[in-house]
Amino acid sequence: MHVSSITLIWLRIWISMAQLQQGGPDEKEKTTALKEGQLRHIKTGEPFIFNYREDLHRWNQKRYEALGEIITKYVYELLEEECHLKKVFVPVDAVESEPRSFIFMSEDAMTNPEKLMVLIHGSGVVRAGQWARRLIINEDLDSGTQIPYIKRAIEEGYGVIVLNPNENYIEVEKTKAQVQLSPDRSDEPAEKRERKDKIQKDTKKRRDFYEKYRNPQKEKETVQLYIRENGSPEEHAVYVWDHFITQSAAENVFFVAHSYGGLAFVELIIQREAEVKNKVTAVALTDSVHNVWHQEAGKTIREWMRENCCNWVSSSEPLDASVESMLPDCPRVSAGTERHELTSWKSYPSIFKFFGEAVEAKSSSGKAAPTRRSQRIRYEEL
């Protein structure tokens, strides 16, 4: 894929780099809008432009997807090099020949006796360490990735586990045996069969030429091989819980789950209710799309969520302002933004405060928690 016009340069020392690229100190005024962690053209300093070729939407889309793959690999590198996390493959007993996925863990994730933070992103193209690809490309790394959460968690003494719920399968090129064979036409006259074959070949030739022009990276026929016990975000969450989180030494486990990640967490507590209640201290949801009715969460789960969860939702209200809900689960407060993808970033300081208060409440011998949980909505009358 041709992506040479946009290069992934996240400007760590943005002023000096921009001056070198733009021509020196005289061009300094052109760099004032830049900051660390932004994606910019290596020569012009301009942001990413999707419609690079206005007449070729599919080409632009493929170019965007190729950039997304580069971003994913880059974020993985940051998780290992800057956050000092280690990659751990799942399933844990996978043989070399079968499909595998992976998660990221801090060195003390299993041994930290006090606190463990578990991060779950939403659905779509994002992978471990990301909240929203759009934010990474159009805004910066801080708002679009989980890196600020990870770094602050480590600074505050948490172990960290980063889930990878969208890495559910691998794609392999179809073998000849897997490609559907054309129907048997042995009973057709040879002349008619040859004429049909020629038409098909000519059509395929024109289509291939057109696709090569429209799509520089020609797609191949592939088949999806799903990862054992990790074939969906819900399965992945349960698998990581069973094989890692339950085995960790932490007295207090905390979840941060964005969008579909919230649904995956609710599915986890439905399947492992007693274990989750015993192990998890607090859960921060950010614009979660879970639904306790559709997911058939029982009364005891809903009661636990009202006491131990809080959902920061997209809203025009100020950060932490109470937001009404028709669902009988957890309190909802404003994330301080109306943009769904920004909710995790905007609520970031409040979530750490929420977790800190939850630990204090737990250690105060049953004293009522001075957190948003004390503002819970009572649904007993519904």
Helix, strand, coil in percent for the chain, rounding step 5: 40, 15, 45
The four Cα atoms 175, 177, 181, 185 give a dihedral, to 10 degrees, of: 140
Distances (CA, A) of 135 to 78, 255, 286: 17, 22, 16
Residues 133, 110: contact at Cβ < 8 Å?
no
Please report the DSSP string for 175-217 in residue order. PTTTSPPPPP-TTS-HHHHHHHHHHHHHHHHHHHHHHHHH-SS
Catalytic residue among 106, 143, 259, 334: 259
186 tagged catalytic = no
**What does the pLDDT profile of the chain (382 residues) look like in tens digits?**
444 334 444 433 232 233 323 333 333 333 334 567 888 777 777 766 655 666 676 777 787 788 889 999 999 999 999 999 999 999 999 998 999 999 999 999 999 999 999 999 999 999 999 999 999 999 999 999 999 999 999 999 999 999 999 999 998 887 655 444 444 555 567 766 676 666 666 666 655 554 554 455 555 678 899 999 999 999 999 999 999 999 999 999 999 999 999 999 999 999 999 999 999 999 999 999 999 999 999 999 999 999 999 999 999 999 999 999 888 899 999 999 999 999 999 999 999 999 999 999 998 855 444 444 444 333 333 3
Cα angle: 271, vertex 167, 273; to 5 degrees: 10
Tokens encoding 236? 């992945």
Residue 322 forms beta bridges with which residues? 333
Domains of the chain: which residue ranges? 75-169+227-375
**Which CATH architecture is the domain 75-169+227-375 placed in?**
3-Layer(aba) Sandwich (3.40)
Residues 162, 87: contact at Cβ < 8 Å?
no
